[in-house]
């Protein structure tokens, strides 16, 4: 049986993970995105199998940003 004690750092394009370098099993991390982007998942948790759940963690273009661009055209 494999035993993971921590998860790998999260790569969040157009954003970053908060809560310092806490990567241990059971820890949660908030995702913060650059201006104009929103996280597809606000909080992820490190699981016993060494993965973050939910597994997706990305910053996507925010709907308000899309609406503003449409009004400028």
CA 50 to chain centre: 16
Domain residue limits, the chain:
15-72
Task: Evaluate if residue 18 carries a pLDDT over 80.
Answer: no
pLDDT reported for residue 29: 85
For 26, the token pair is 């059971």
Tell me the average pLDDT across 5-21: 76
Tokens of 52: 């973050």
Instruction: Report the predicted TM-score, pTM, of the whole model to 2 decimal places.
Output: 0.66
13 pLDDT tier (thresholds 50, 70, 90): confident
CATH number of 15-72: 2.10.70.10
Give yes or no for a contact between 59 and 14, defined as CB atoms under 8 angstroms apart.
yes
Convert the pLDDT of each residue in 23-73 to its tens digit: 888 888 888 888 888 888 888 899 989 898 988 678 888 775 555 555 544
CA distances, 30 to each of 33, 34, 43, 53 (Å): 10, 14, 4, 12
Which tokens hold the place of 49? Answer: 């199998």
């Amino acid at each position: 049986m494999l035993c993971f004690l921590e998860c790998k750092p999260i790569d969040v394009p157009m954003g970053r993970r908060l809560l310092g370098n806490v990567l241990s099993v059971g820890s949660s991390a908030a995702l913060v995105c650059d201006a104009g982007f929103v996280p597809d998942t606000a909080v992820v948790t490190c699981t016993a199998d060494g993965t973050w759940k939910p597994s997706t963690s990305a910053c996507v273009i925010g709907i308000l940003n899309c609406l503003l661009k449409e009004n400028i055209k």
